[in-house]
Structure 1
Amino acid sequence: MSLINTKIQPFSATAFKNGEFVDVTDEDLMGSWSIMFFYPADFTFVCPTELGDLADHHDELQAMGVNIYSVSTDTHFTHKAWHASSDTIGKIRYTMIGDPTATVSRNFDILREDEGLANRGTFLIDPDGVIQVMEVTAEGVGRNAAELVRKAKAAIYVRQHPGEVCPAKWEEGAETLAPSLDLVGKI
Structure 2
Amino acid sequence: MADITKLTSKIINEAQKKQDNLVAEAKEELTQAFQIKQQQLEKEKKQHLVRYEKELQRELSLKVSDLHVKMRNQVLAAKQGVLDDLFAEAKLELQQISATDFADFVLRKLTNLPLTGEVELIFGEYSSSLVTDDQFAQWSQALAEKITLKKSDQVIPNRSGVVFKQAEIEFNYLFEALLDAKEEALSYQLLDLIFDER
Identify whether the pair has TM-score above 0.5, normalized to the shorter chain: no
Which structure carries more strand by proportion? Answer: 1
State the TM-score bracket (shorter-chain normalisation). under 0.3
Query: Which has more radius of gyration?
Result: 2
